[in-house]
Amino acid sequence: MHRIARSTAPLLLLLAAVSHAQPTPAPAPSEPPPPAPPSMRPSAGAVVPPAPSLLRGTSVSHTGGQVVLAPQWRFVLNNLLVLRMNPVGLEDQMRIGLQVRLSNSTSRLLRDTFIFLGLVPRFNPAFIKFGPALEIQPLSIFNLRLTGEYIGFFSTFGFLQSFPSPSDEYDDGLLANCAGPSPDMLRQCRFRDTQGAEATALERRNYATSGFHLMIEPLLQAKLGPIALRNKLAFEYWYMAVRAGDTVFYDMTLDTLVPANGWILANDLDLLYVSRFGLVAGVRYSVVHPFYFGQDYRPGEDTTVNDNGHQRLGPILAYTFFDRGFTRFNKPTLLLIVNWYLDHRYRLGQVPSAILPNTFVQSAGMPYLVLGFSFQSDLITSR
């Protein structure tokens, strides 16, 4: 009897332990993380990066490898400082104002949409341009900017100079001589008066004046993989107070004779490779074409002659050092444009061209050169 009790005791103890043991609960299924807010939701692909040379806005940022939507509204500043050769120029361009995002969508077609209203001042040693701008981007692929600006020339650095006809000469050497500080330079300033007779300047021909400039600028852009295509067209209306009897004036930005009361067409077409480390490299093709009316010419001149347009083609490079979102200082970018003239009245080696003030080179291989630096600053943003 005692032997049976001793043999069953361990079994009874084991059964009791099992009957009183609590089962280990199974781990609860993990819950999916909450979705990111619209302003921080990643999305595949990328939109065309804004061109620093065009000073356009954007409503996305490529932060940490993700496409991040901008705050609903922002008071933003874009700045571009450029140094140009052939022709010579130095200019600081600004875009400052209120920008409102139009969509919360992260689709490629709708995520980079906004409306901007602000000012677009431009400062140059020879002039100042100042006025309002309205920019609408209803789709990521289309942008329309309307700008009206006051222009004031200081009569410095040889500008402004005007002429009685689009057929008059306006090469860099002539412009420099006609604004020269010495009598020897003025004696080399040979121009044609309102009647077409050749004359020699007795005093500097550059003078201070002002006017109005209207720009209508549609932009189309698209991106497939790392390849982007962008086209910016500009219809420009000018109304400038020029010397009595003159009908056109030389504009150093457009590098042509602009009608004092008329239109200019300019177009920039970019084919780009967009890297993942901030480098954008591609090719730019540029066209400038002025439109003249019969009254812009002297009586008796052939009004069908218009050889003041020009074309350029060459590489464009931009490198953005970082993109940290919508901060006070973001997207510092270096810009380099090296374009060769395909068609120009003077810059294919016909006459010497200015590459620096009072420095001239006569060569068909001398390119149009732009070196620039741009950045973006979000001064105030919504929370």
pLDDT at 383: 62
| pLDDT tens column, 242-282 | 999 999 999 999 999 999 999 999 999 999 999 999 999 99
Number of domains in the chain: 1
Q: Is residue 316 one of the residues assigned to a domain?
A: yes
Question: For 364-376, what is the mean pLDDT?
Answer: 95
DSSP tally for the chain: helices H, then strands E = 3, 23
Q: Is residue 7 one of the residues assigned to a domain?
A: no
Q: Is residue 30 one of the residues assigned to a domain?
A: no
Answer for the pair 235, 263: CB distance below 8 angstroms, yes or no. yes
Q: Is residue 374 one of the residues assigned to a domain?
A: yes
Q: Is residue 26 one of the residues assigned to a domain?
A: no
Q: How many CA atoms does the CB half-sphere of 46 hold within 13 Å?
A: 19
pLDDT at 294: 96
Q: Is residue 9 one of the residues assigned to a domain?
A: no
The CATH number for 294's domain is 2.40.160.40
| 378, pLDDT greater than 80 | yes
Maximum CA extent, the chain: 146
Answer for the pair 124, 140: CB distance below 8 angstroms, yes or no. no
Domain that holds residue 158: 38-381
Single-letter code of the amino acid located at 5: A
| pLDDT tens column, 169-222 | 999 999 999 998 888 899 999 999 999 999 999 899 999 999 999 999 999 999
Separation of alpha carbons 122 and 129, rounded Å = 5
Residue 25: alpha-carbon gap to chain centroid:
63
Q: How many CA atoms does the CB half-sphere of 2 hold within 13 Å?
A: 0
Q: Is residue 188 one of the residues assigned to a domain?
A: yes
| pLDDT tens column, 37-94 | 444 443 333 456 666 666 677 888 776 667 788 899 999 999 999 999 999 999 999 9
Q: Is residue 210 one of the residues assigned to a domain?
A: yes
pLDDT at 234: 97
